[in-house]
Structures are given as C-alpha cells and as structure tokens.
Amino acid sequence: METSLQEKLQGWRRQLHQHPETGFEEVQTSDYVANILKTLGMDVHRNIGGTGLVANLKVGNGTRAIGLRAEMDALNIAEQAPGRLYASCNAGKMHACGHDGHMAMILGAAQLLAERRDFDGTVRFIFQPAEEHGRGAKAMMADGLFERFPVDAIFGVHNMPGLPAGSISTRSGGVMASEDNFVIHIKARGTHAARPHMGVDPVVIAAQIVLALQTIVSRNLDPSQSAVISCTEIITDGLRNVIPSNVVIKGDTRSYSPDVQRLLATRMREVSEGICRTHGAECTFEYTHEFVPTVNTPAFVDVAAAAASMVVGADKVDANVQPMMISEDFGAFLQVVPGNFAFIGNGIDSDDGGTPLHNAGYDFNDSILTTGARYFAEIARMQLAAR
C-alpha cells in the first residue's frame, strides 16, 4: 500500500528531529532534504549562503516564480522528553522551535506540486540555514539568492503554540518584531563583602540599571507603540564573600520601527552611563541589530488568507492577528522581495502542541503537517494559475 502523505511527512519530520544541527552546521540536514527533493524530480542547488539550498520546479511556459521557505537549524538545548522515541540523538541540541516540521511541510508541498503539476511557472523551495542567529537569510542573499533564483514573492510560516492546532493567522504590515541585543559592562572597584565602603559595588549599580531600563518603554515611548526591553543575563567576577569589580548585563529589545530602535538604544545608553557615573563606575554600552521586523506585503496577505481558507476553512483563518514580539529571519527576505509570513497553530494544551517554543520539552504537532503542505501548495497554485 502506498504511504499516505501524512505518514510520509511524519517520517521525514521525525527523522529530522532526531538529527538536529545548529546554524551553518546543517550538513546532514541539507543532505537529507536535498535527497528527498531529487527523488521528487527537482533541480537542486546546494551550498547557498553556507548550507542553504534551493530546489526548482518549473511547469509550463509561465515566467512568474514564487519562493516557499523553511528554516533548517536547531537550538543548543538538551531535549527533555522521556519516552519520546524520536528524541534528539545529538547531545545538547534539539529542534525546540519546530524547524523540523517546517521543512517537512515544504517537502510535502513539493511532493504535492510535483505530482499534480497544476500551475504555470516556477516554484522555488528555499531551505535556509541559521535562522535562530538571524544570519542565514543575509548569507543566502549575499550569495546571490535572488539574483540566481528570482521570485515575484516569497512565503513562509511558523508553528505557534497557544493557537488552535491547524488554524492559520497573518496580518498586513508588521507581524513580528525586530530584535536588538545589548551588553552593558560596569567596571567598578571590588572589595571584601564585609567592607563594602572600601569599594564601589557594581552589583548595586547593575540592580539600579535593570530597574531604570524598565521605565524607558513606560515613560519615553508613545503608548501607542510597542517595545520590550529584557535583561536576561547578569554576570559577575565576584564570589560569595567578594564584591566584584565587574558586572555584565546582557539582554535584548523588541520593536517594530527604526525610530523606536533608535530611541531605545539612545535612552538605554544614557541611563546606563548616567547611573554608573553617579556611583563613580565606568560603563561600556554595546547595542547591535540582529533581526529586522517582519513586515508583510498587504496584497499577499489577501493571497495567504485566501489559500488558508481553501485549506482549513474561513472560520479557522485570522487575517488580522495581533502582532507578536518574537523575531524571525524571514523579515530580511521581505526587505528585498514582497511576500507573506503566517502562523499555523500548533495547539493550545501542553499534550497537544501547546508546550512553548524554545522549551526543552517542546515538540512539533504532527497533525498540522499536511495542513502546512497543502497551504503552501495552494499558494503556489493561486499565484501561478494559468492566465
């Protein structure tokens, strides 16, 4: 009996889940994906921007082309899933964001389109490395992605725990935020913990900075705009009985516009340097841009919503979803070519796909694999319909 589409996609997804590789190291992953695409009769091009690849499927004489994109990289997280038969075989690495499922969806769309060939033009299946670091999209484009493989539009998705399984959501304009990283290095004067008056305590200074940074969004930013400042690491060179000389605060910010990014960077620097100066300490402030906002093209939101409605029904489609503060490397593609990014619900309950992304117990919900494959295939048929 021929293997059903669901069984095939689940097999591919779980194989990929067992063998996760992180950014720019996706050698076996790229090999595995390329071999499947070749068996489907695709024209496959390798080593684009490192481990990235593009497979082309041309039908008819149409000159239009679209891109369907998936990410390949995993995270440096040790999987904690007792009893999961297809758990990661690579210690300290796992597909904790669902990129294994995204790859399987695009492979499924490739199979459907190769079988039916019910469009006129070219579909380019783009498999991107290093999404988690925000480096892969730029690397592929620097390697001539869109010059070598031009597209009229590009489409992508991300599974989303907390949304009903199989639902599809998108919106016009900003759908995901930028991510900027910061490092604040406080250099003070360490001393014995019993004699704090002999030194300048950078821990106290750091505590004041962390609290003061939280006032920037609430008191410097227009309430109609959105931003997040998160301090996620505090590192010292102290001991239990030693007040340190150095404290490093690391974290990130999220926002939707260059103006807000500039405001956050300026005020964070002023606050950090001002508090350090008040206490007689030195401050070094670094602020880097990692991810641009993901901004959907309005015309292709309508395309995505129409395709989604054909696949899951209009009652399971939200074309004006609330923007999310997460970031995605797909935004870099949308700065160069138009397109759309959507969310596919992974489930609400923890035992049905609701475990959060980047959690050691997360797993992609296999029940939505065919939904994603059919969604991408429908977009290709709609965009490349014979004229």
Does one domain contain both 251 and 326?
A: no
pLDDT of residue 332: 97
> Domain end: 264, 291, 318, which one?
291
Distance (Å, whole) CA 214 – CA 229: 7
Residues 49, 136 contacting (CB under 8 angstroms): yes
User: What CATH number should be reported for the domain holding residue 26?
Assistant: 3.40.630.10
Q: pLDDT grade, residue 246 (50/70/90)?
A: very high
Distance (Å, whole) CA 312 – CA 41: 28
Residues 303, 119 contacting (CB under 8 angstroms): no
Q: 321 pLDDT exceeds 80?
A: yes
Give phi and psi for 183, each to the nearest 5: -135, 125
Distance (Å, whole) CA 333 – CA 341: 11
Domain that holds residue 194: 178-291
Question: Could you tell me whether strands 153-161 and 339-347 are parallel, antiparallel, or unpaired per DSSP bridges?
Answer: parallel
> Domain end: 275, 291, 307, which one?
291
Q: 3 pLDDT exceeds 80?
A: no
Does one domain contain both 282 and 309?
A: no
Residues 384, 62 contacting (CB under 8 angstroms): yes
Does one domain contain both 164 and 194?
A: no
Looking at the structure of the chain, the number of domains it has is 2
Does one domain contain both 265 and 307?
A: no
Average pLDDT score over residue span 11-32: 98
Average pLDDT score over residue span 36-61: 97
Task: Report the percent of the chain where pLDDT is more than 70.
Answer: 99
In sequence order, what are the residues at sequence separation of 6 or more whose Cβ sits closer than 8 angstroms to the Cβ of residue 164? Answer: 316, 345, 347, 348
pLDDT digits (tens, 9 = 90+) for 104-130: 999 999 999 999 999 999 999 999 999
Rg (CA), the chain: 23
Average pLDDT score over residue span 306-310: 98
Q: pLDDT grade, residue 387 (50/70/90)?
A: low
Q: Tokens for 259, please give them.
A: 């103006």
Does one domain contain both 277 and 146?
A: no
User: What CATH number should be reported for the domain holding residue 241?
Assistant: 3.30.70.360
Does one domain contain both 50 and 154?
A: yes
Candidates 50, 95, 41, 104; CA nearest to 73 is 95
Average pLDDT score over residue span 247-253: 98
Task: Report the percent of the chain where pLDDT is more than 90.
Answer: 97
Q: Where do runs of H (alpha helix) occur along 132-250?
A: 136-142, 145-148, 202-220
> Domain end: 291, 325, 345, which one?
291
Does one domain contain both 161 and 300?
A: yes
HEC readout, 229-252: EEEEEEEECCECCEECCEEEEEEE
Does one domain contain both 17 and 166?
A: yes
Does one domain contain both 191 and 123?
A: no
Does one domain contain both 171 and 213?
A: no
Does one domain contain both 72 and 9?
A: yes
Does one domain contain both 201 and 126?
A: no
pLDDT digits (tens, 9 = 90+) for 173-230: 999 999 999 999 999 999 999 999 999 999 999 999 999 999 999 999 999 999 999 9
What integer best gives the mean pLDDT of the chain? 97
Q: pLDDT grade, residue 352 (50/70/90)?
A: confident
pLDDT of residue 1: 39
